[in-house]
Amino acid sequence: MTTISAAKVKELRNATGAGMMDCKQALIEAKGDFDKAIEVLRKKGLAALKKRAGRTAREGLVETYVHAGGRLGVLIEINCETDFVARSQDFKEFAHDIAMQVAASNPLYISREEISPEVIEKEREIVRLQTLNEGKPEAVVEKIVEGRLEKFFEEVCLLEQPFVKDLNLKVQDVLSSLAGKIGENIIIRRFSRYQLGELEE
């Protein structure tokens, strides 16, 4: 049997936010391989996340973030299932980080599901014309268009953006990790971003 040190368990916990026993079990399953243990936890976390997705999240908090000497501000509502979790340090830090993410990355939507088919179709047409104008062969145009559309989603959808504190993670990864750690459904409900002197369209 593989011997797992407490230090390695703690390292995995810090990297993933999963519980100590879950981290130890994942390392045992992965025979001490750190990267495989992360994969084990991710698979379990995603399965648990799907189970929790149907549960109602009506608690939570509204977080504010003001930046650039009061010239830029964000108001965001993030929901969870219980008031206990809403008051926890982990949840408050997550809400603050996501408000900061909105300030820094200026997303237009929370997820791609919010984008109307008309907007997606218009973007697809623009990207297709750009690709054809670049002289790309017709045979590869559609593949390039789909790749560029994915890049568009990554830019405008909050959950798909690289996380400002760790660009190797997406916001969705951070949300999933926290949901796995606290055992509750977490939903980013809505946000508003205000920039001084910026007129609403």
Rounded Cα distance, 67 and 193, in Å: 11
- For the CA atoms of the chain, what is the radius of gyration? 20
pTM over 0.75: no
Looking up residue 67, the CATH number of its domain turns out to be: 3.30.479.20
Pick the range with the lowest mean pLDDT from 136-145, 152-161, 170-179. 136-145
The answer to whether residue 27 is domain-embedded is yes
- Quote the pLDDT of residue 184: 84
Instruction: Indicate whether 91 pLDDT > 70.
Output: yes
Q: What is the mean pLDDT of the chain?
A: 86
Task: With respect to residue 78, please indicate whether it lies within any of the assigned structural domains.
Answer: yes
Range of the domain at 31: 6-52
Residue 56 near residue 47 (C-beta atoms within 8 A): no
User: Are 64 and 139 members of one domain?
Assistant: no
Residue 201: which pLDDT band, with cuts at 50, 70 and 90? very low
Residue 82 Rama label (left phi>0; alpha psi -120 to 50; beta): beta
Confidence of residue 107 (pLDDT cuts 50, 70, 90): very high
Residue with tokens 């994942």: 26
> Residue 46's domain is classified under what CATH number?
1.10.8.10
Residue 1 lies in a domain: no
3-class state of residue 37 by DSSP:
helix
CA–CA separation, 84 and 174 (whole Å): 20
8 Å CB contact between 105 and 165 = no
The answer to whether position 200 is within a domain reads no
Structure token digits, residue 157: 């959808």
Do residues 101 and 168 share a domain? Answer: yes
Span 76-91, average pLDDT? 92
Q: Is the dihedral of CA 58, 114, 108, 175 positive or negative?
A: positive
Structure tokens at 173: 């990864």
State the total domains in the chain.
Answer: 3
In a domain, 10, yes or no: yes
13 and 48 inside one domain: yes
- What is the total residue count of the chain? 201
If pLDDT is split at 50, 70 and 90, which confidence band does 17 have? low
Does 105 lie in the same domain as 64? yes
